[in-house]
Amino acid sequence: MTTEYSGSGDPKRSMELLWGMQERPRRGPKPRLTVPQIVRAAIEVADAEGLAALSMRRVAEQLGVGAMSLYTYVPGKAELLDVMLDTVLGEQARPEEVAGGWRGRLERIARENWTLYRRHPWLLQVAAHRPPMGPNVMAKYEYELRAVDGLGLTDVEMDSVIALISGYVHGAARGAVDAAQAERQTGMSDEQWWAEQAPLLEKVFDVERYPIAARVGAAAGEAHNAPAAPEHAFEFGLRRVLDGIDVLVSARRDGS
């Protein structure tokens, strides 16, 4: 059980934080902390213990201050999450030259997003709609659009293709992260878990009623025990999605 936040606190306050629009006050005691420090601590907590464990008290503890001190620097938890989001997007590499044309570029983008979700699983739980328009959110959007510019797609199609890739990676990463968290939380591998379920399942599972599920489930279950199973699933789906985009791009290239 974890907590989710739809990002986006007060947009005005978030923007001020994201673009550093605060002049250093002239009077009063020296600040003991900085916003980036708090954001870094919060990201550490979320990475290590999940979004559910990310509380203001926990972040404050991490920094050795009282919980309420954080409110001196940050309007609230929602705005903190906005800045966390933009900050981790800043970690992504965005190389200008990638081999393999548009397909190579989209592949690269997908992989970069994949590793980002693996590194910061809590990203899967913060809503992506109307994101805080921080510098890194913008840079990311521009970079991804550049991958499909000049292919003969309409502007709306370009946006749709990017959304498709992002959506696919999001879904695939969610599967992988869910699997990893289930394993960590229960302390059981999938194999062990299914073995434990077997006696219960046998009581209710009717092989004649679910013949394909029985056959495929067994095969898939075995495949999922492989160490790199989520990566394989990701690669499989990515190939299909890119093939599908290829059909569109080729059509736009040949015909109108």
Partner DNA sequence: AAACAATAACGTACGGTGTACGGGATTGGG
Partner DNA sequence: CCCAATCCCGTACACCGTACGTTATTGTTT
User: Among 173, 139, 144, which residue's Cα sits nearest to residue 160?
Assistant: 144
Q: Which stretch binds its own copies (CB under 8 A): 60-68, 85-93, 105-113, 132-140?
A: 132-140
Q: How far apart are CA 212 and CA 207, in angstroms?
A: 9
Under rule CB under 8 A, residue 101 binds its own copies? no
Residues 9, 6: Cα–Cα separation, whole Å: 8
- Is 138 a binder of its own copies (CB under 8 A)? yes
- Interacting positions 184-203 with its own copies (CB under 8 A): 185, 190, 193, 196-197, 200-201, 203
- 3-class secondary-structure state, position 209: coil
Among 31, 67, 210, 253, binds its own copies (CB under 8 A): 210
Give, in degrees to the nearest 5, the angle at Cα 35 between 26 and 126: 145
Minimum gap (Å) between residue 49 Cβ and DNA = 10
* Sign of the torsion angle spanned by Cα atoms 168, 49, 134, 91: negative
Least distance CB 206 / its own copies (angstroms): 9
Residues 15-74 close enough to bind its own copies by CB under 8 A: 15, 19, 52
Distance (Å, whole) CA 7 – CA 46? 14
Residue whose CB is less far from DNA, 15 or 33: 33
Please give the structure tokens belonging to residue 172. Answer: 């695939």
**Residue ranges in contact with DNA by CB under 7 A:** 25-33, 54-58, 65-69, 71-73, 76-78
What one-character DSSP code corresponds to residue 97? Answer: -
CA distance 218 to 212: 10
Which of its own copies, DNA, none interacts with 130 (beta carbon under 5 to 8 A by kind)? its own copies
Q: How far is the CB of 158 from DNA (least distance, A)?
A: 37
213 near its own copies, judged by CB under 8 A: yes
Shortest separation between residue 33's beta carbon and DNA, angstroms? 5
